[in-house]
Structure 1
Amino acid sequence: MSKSLEKLSSGFRINRASDDAAGLSISEGLRSQTGGLKVAVRNAQDAISVVQTAEGALNETTSMLQRMRDLAVQANNASLDDSAKKAANAEFTQLAAEIDRVSDTTAFGKSKLLDGNFGMAASSTGTTIAGTPANPPNEPYPTSNSPVSSSGMTITSLGGKAVSINIADVTLTDSKGDTLAPQAAAAKVNDAIAAALRDSGNGDVTLEVSASVDKATGDLTFSASGTTGFEFTASDLGISGASTANSKAVAGNFQIGANSGETLAVGIRAVNSTTLGLNSLDLTKLATTTGGKSGATEAMEVLDTAIQQVSDDRAKLGASQNRFEHTINNLNVSVENLSASESRIRDTDMAQEMVQFTRNQILTQAG
């Protein structure tokens, strides 16, 4: 009778492992899943807030770009004198500066959203990328071509910053044993890696590379930090070797499930006057007799591209928001179903337990 009273008081059929060992184990697992899913719902809601904050800033950026294009169209008018064009250019410059300010200050909590640092991801350490021996001099050859993700390393680059590659401590020797200028070799590799990253769509990653040469074998070893690897061609370097990629920090991921690995990434590339190509624009610049475009004409072309870029970014954010909203709906359904399952296992059937308690009580009193 005491157990029946305990079950009626607590509302649980299982109050200790001895009540139902298997049921307790299953129930605790379901509770863990349910708790994780509830937190995942809050994570997804935070992700929506992040996306809305970024999209709101990009909306204002679009408005400024539209106004800048209007000014460019206005300045491309032969009836305007120099002072009128200078006035238009002054507003144009101020709007570009405001775009930079919006980029620098748009944040969610302490996380900057539009400076290119939100949405960079890399993982794994010590993944080796095999090099390929050089072809004869002056012949292009693939120095490295390896899908590192298949070797256990992945990277998602969703920022918008320019690729930055640093190569140091390089010593190259030719067939005569003379030392070659490392700067020239590094420049070739720099340009090749940067171009390959842009072409592959990985976009605007900071790739730090160090390199060294084994004089005994002539092998050149690259160590890359911050990328999955690279595919490029170089000429007349006379090298071979291998590169090792190491991981950097992960950002922009939201845990949207109860289990490890159930994440969604939100990537927001940098949106400022540099990435939009606005820095060099000048509405007062005149067309040249050799076919050079006027500053206003050049500005219109650049702004068309910039507006499209920002619109694409906003569209991606909108798609992400819709996905998170559906994720929340699905998570809520899962929470409801798991809670019901856990309740059926753990909770007391009050009617049945009350009948049992009353029966035991009558028998006890009848003594």
Structure 2
Amino acid sequence: MIINHNISALNTYRQLSINNMMAAKSLEKLSSGLRINRAGDDAAGLAISEKMRGQIRGLEMASKNAQDAISLIQTAEGALNETHSILQRMRELAVQSASDTNTEADRVELQKEVDQLAKELSRISNNTEFNTKNLLGGAFAGIFHIGANENQNLSLSINAMDAYTLGLTEDVASISAKVVSSTGDKLVGADIVGTQYLTEGNYTVEVAANATAGVDITLKDAEGNVIASKTGHTAAAGPVTLVDDSGTDVITLAYDAAMAAGETATIYIGASGADLTSGTNIVAVEVSAKDALADGTYTLTIKSSDGTKVDIAEITDSNGKVIATATYTSNLAVNSAYTISLSNGKTLTFTTGNNTPAIGNTATFTVVNTDYTSGTSSAAVDSNGDGVLDKEAVAVKGIDVRTQQNANTAITKIEAAIETVSAERSKLGAIQNRLEHTINNLGTASENLTAAESRIRDVDMAKEIMEFTKMNILQQAATAMLSQANQLPQAVLQLLR
């Protein structure tokens, strides 16, 4: 019998410590509901569980992305629904106008509503937005992430649905030229950049008397700010001319030296009605005059193949009636945005670069989207898109219901526009249906993955309660036995009696 080491007490104490630790772990699992509370509980299970948790949260966010995509599509489709309604009304008006029971005055009134409806089509296209993103302007091309992992995307592009794209208005003209020299006593044309839709605004060229000799030519913007000027030009009497490198007149601004304020001069494109091609090398705008000039207004005119003039400034319909006038308000001399303002409020713009053009620079301007109607004898200059200023005038496509024949043509055009919008709406509807199925699938995948993760990480409450009860009983038993083990060494005292 020994008393220095109570082995029974030590063994009982060790078992009691184990029971206490196991009971504490069991209590932690029961209180958290998780089988894995820390990596030590199940290292491999924790790694698998965390990977699954990432997948689950990704699936949930992908479902939200798909719902947002549906909201975007519904916004676009709702606007197209109204576009359809407008087109149906335009078709109705065209059918009404196609009947000769209408007078010319009746058809003019019908045309007014058609024109307003066409403008509303463009307004809807330009102003339909989702989260500040324009949807129907033709620039929207979105990628929706609808999966938990990378590259699980759905792409969507929405075509432009404005009146121009739907074939209810169209381009007018295009010219290309090349700058090859900038020397001499001339106002040199600036580099004209790009082909674009045109902005509103006015730039005026003032030609006024100079106290000493010659003329002063001043270019001002719409606010009256001077952009460029040439003072006291004293070259020989003659017109303002845009010449190529061979000396051939390409564009001429002709004026009467004694013209009074408010009178008009004319710009002719082509010395004798010849085509202006992209290979034509433009040198400069040269202004010369012998006598002082009063302020003048300049009108842009194009010669046709038979030598007759086709005015952008005075556009006539097939009956010879003037339907729009435009004033050329720039001399293409410096960098800025130059415009021709039409009496109907539309504008044609020339846009130039920031500096005087270097030799070899290419210059281009395009007249775009003037909302002329079919039947208009227009000043289109590049009807076949070959970069050549065509000599003949061509009709500009649009919706015109002012004659029986044009109303018939309008029905066909509007029908084509309706089919275009229908195709776009069908595409959006198909993608919306697809996204709805995507959301259902994402929900199912998330549910199944959550169940799998739960089996790894969540605690079996019944089993754990059983384990806790067992540890609790063992803990109480060990405590009682430790008390008994501590009493064993006292038996030695009996030997001393």
Quickly name the TM-score band, shorter chain normalised. 0.5 to 0.7
- Pick aligned residue for 1:65 from 84, 87, 90: 87
Give identity over the alignment, percent: 53
- 1:131-187 Cα deviation digits (max 9, x unpaired): xxxxxxxxxxxxxxxxxxxxxxxxxxxxxxxxxxxxxxxxxxxxxxxxxxxxxxxxx
Give secondary structure in 2 for the equivalent of 1:272: coil
**Aligned ranges 1:339-350 → 2 under 5 Å:** 339-350=450-461
Aligned to 1:86: 108
**Aligned ranges 1:298-317 → 2 under 5 Å:** 298-317=409-428
In structure 2, relative to structure 1, the CA distance for the partners of 1:296 and 1:356 (3 Å cut) is: same
Residue 116 of structure 1: how far off its partner (Å): 0.9
| Structure holding more strand per residue | 2
Confirm or deny: 8 A CA contact 1:43 1:254 kept in the other structure: yes
| Higher RCO (CA 8 Å, separation ≥ 6 residues) | 1
1:274 and 2:385 equivalent?
Answer: no
Residue 296 of structure 1: how far off its partner (Å): 1.2
Cα separation, 1, equivalents of 2:166 and 2:407: 16
Residue 295 of structure 1: how far off its partner (Å): 2.2
Normalising by structure 2, we get a TM-score of: 0.45
Cα separation, 2, equivalents of 1:286 and 1:89: 10
Give secondary structure in 2 for the equivalent of 1:99: helix
Which amino acid is the alignment partner of residue 461 of structure 2? Answer: M
**Aligned ranges 1:35-114 → 2 under 5 Å:** 35-114=57-136
Which amino acid is the alignment partner of residue 44 of structure 1? Answer: A
CA RMSD between the two structures: 1.2
Aligned to 1:283: 400
Which amino acid is the alignment partner of residue 38 of structure 1? Answer: E
Please identify, of 275-284 and 106-115, the stretch whose mean Cα deviation from structure 2 is larger: 275-284
- Pick aligned residue for 1:324 from 429, 435, 447: 435
Cα separation, 1, equivalents of 2:416 and 2:150: 40
Normalising by structure 1, we get a TM-score of: 0.61
Q: Which has the larger radius of gyration?
A: 2
Confirm or deny: 8 A CA contact 1:88 1:283 kept in the other structure: no
Confirm or deny: 8 A CA contact 1:85 1:283 kept in the other structure: no
Cα separation, 1, equivalents of 2:125 and 2:399: 21
Residue 114 of structure 1: how far off its partner (Å): 0.5
**Aligned ranges 1:1-367 → 2 under 5 Å:** 1-119=23-141, 252-279=142-169, 280=373, 281-286=398-403, 294-367=405-478
Cα separation, 1, equivalents of 2:445 and 2:399: 56
- 1:65-118 Cα deviation digits (max 9, x unpaired): 011011111112223222101100000001111111111111111111111111
| Structure holding more helix per residue | 1
After TM superposition, the runs of 4+ consecutive aligned structure 1 residues lying more than 3 A away are 284-287
Residue 297 of structure 1: how far off its partner (Å): 2.0
Give secondary structure in 2 for the equivalent of 1:266: strand
- 1:239-297 Cα deviation digits (max 9, x unpaired): xxxxxxxxxxxxx111100000001112211101000011232435547xxxxxx3212
Confirm or deny: 8 A CA contact 2:399 2:413 kept in the other structure: no
Residue 9 of structure 1: how far off its partner (Å): 1.1
Residue 29 of structure 1: how far off its partner (Å): 0.5
In structure 2, relative to structure 1, the CA distance for the partners of 1:352 and 1:13 (3 Å cut) is: same
Confirm or deny: 8 A CA contact 1:44 1:254 kept in the other structure: yes
Unaligned regions of 5+ residues in structure 1, if any?
120-251, 288-293
Confirm or deny: 8 A CA contact 1:75 1:283 kept in the other structure: no
Cα separation, 1, equivalents of 2:399 and 2:146: 46
